[in-house]
């Protein structure tokens, strides 16, 4: 994954509470098993006047000229609720979103963001609203969002490490491989029955 350190972008607001994963990427839009090919289906129920003809709704935030190339999305409370659909994060990432700022997130969506290189930032709703359509800078090393004034945000050490270093869950585990191997070698004589025989 691409490491996340700093980011400056227009912040596009979709300030609705309880935006669920089926709105972010409806099941009918998931036509492949991979992480790509989802971009056209992102927010399809809101993005198009007619989802069948893909006629854009000019009033929807992502269709406005100032949203083009934006990498920061603003959401409402409980953003990403509903199912555990990881495709929702994949669709956002494929579109180019690297950071979502909202008052709160559904826990599974929050975890899916971390695993896929998106930074979910929790800030009070009144602050999130002030960022709409502004040029916003996000600094993960200092844990600050800046737009006229700076707003600190919290993130747990492990997700912070994963994002800063561009690690997925497997990469993070492999960082501890020397310790894992040492423990395994010490444990093998004690509990030999739990280990397969080494190949010759």
Please report whether residue 11 resides in a domain.
yes
Please report whether residue 191 resides in a domain.
no
Please report whether residue 37 resides in a domain.
yes
- The pLDDT of residue 199 is 56
What CATH number did the domain enclosing 33 receive?
Answer: 3.20.19.10
- The pLDDT of residue 176 is 80
**Model pTM?**
0.88
Please report whether residue 48 resides in a domain.
yes
Q: Which two tokens stand for residue 20?
A: 């669920």
- The pLDDT of residue 114 is 96
Please identify which residue in the block is written with the tokens 């603003």: 74
Please report whether residue 98 resides in a domain.
yes
Please report whether residue 180 resides in a domain.
no
- The pLDDT of residue 98 is 98
CA distance 25 to 89: 9
Q: State the residue range of the domain holding 28.
A: 6-166
CA distance 124 to 145: 12
Output b/e per residue, 169-194; b: 16+ Cβ within 10 A. eeeeeeeeeeeeeeeeeeeeeeeeee
Strand residues in the chain grouped as ranges (E): 6-14, 48-50, 55-56, 72-75, 99-102, 119-122, 135-139, 144-147, 149-152
Please report whether residue 153 resides in a domain.
yes
Please report whether residue 47 resides in a domain.
yes
Half-sphere exposure of 26 (CA within 13 A, CB side): 11
Closest CA to 99 of 149, 38, 153: 153
How many independent structural domains does the chain possess? 1
- Strand, helix or coil at 150? strand
- Give, as one character, the DSSP assignment of residue 20: B
Residue 93: enclosing H or E segment and its boundaries?
helix 87-95
- Strand, helix or coil at 130? helix
pLDDT in tens, the chain (200 residues): 899 999 999 999 999 999 999 999 999 998 877 889 999 999 999 999 987 889 999 999 999 999 999 999 999 999 999 988 999 999 999 999 999 999 999 999 999 999 999 999 999 999 999 999 999 999 999 999 999 999 999 999 999 999 999 988 787 778 788 888 889 889 989 998 888 876 55
């Amino acid at each position: 994954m691409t490491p996340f350190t700093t980011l400056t972008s227009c912040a596009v607001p979709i300030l609705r509470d309880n935006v669920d994963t089926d709105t972010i990427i409806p099941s009918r839009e998931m036509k492949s098993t991979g992480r790509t090919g989802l971009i056209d289906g992102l927010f399809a129920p809101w993005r198009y006047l007619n989802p069948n003809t893909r006629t854009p709704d000019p009033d929807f935030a992502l269709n406005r000229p100032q949203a083009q190339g934006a990498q920061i999305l603003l959401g409402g409370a409980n953003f990403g609720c509903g199912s555990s659909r990881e495709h929702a994060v994949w669709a956002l990432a494929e579109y180019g979103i690297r950071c979502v700022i909202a008052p709160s997130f559904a826990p599974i969506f929050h975890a899916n963001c971390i695993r896929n290189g998106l930074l979910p930032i929790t800030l009070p709703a009144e602050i999130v609203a002030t960022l709409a359509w502004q040029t916003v800078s996000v600094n993960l090393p200092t844990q600050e969002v800046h737009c006229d004034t700076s707003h600190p945000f919290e993130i747990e050490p492990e997700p912070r490490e994963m994002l800063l270093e561009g690690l997925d869950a497997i990469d993070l585990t492999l960082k501890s491989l020397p310790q894992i191997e040492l423990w395994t070698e010490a444990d093998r004589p004690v509990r030999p029955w739990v280990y397969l025989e080494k190949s010759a």
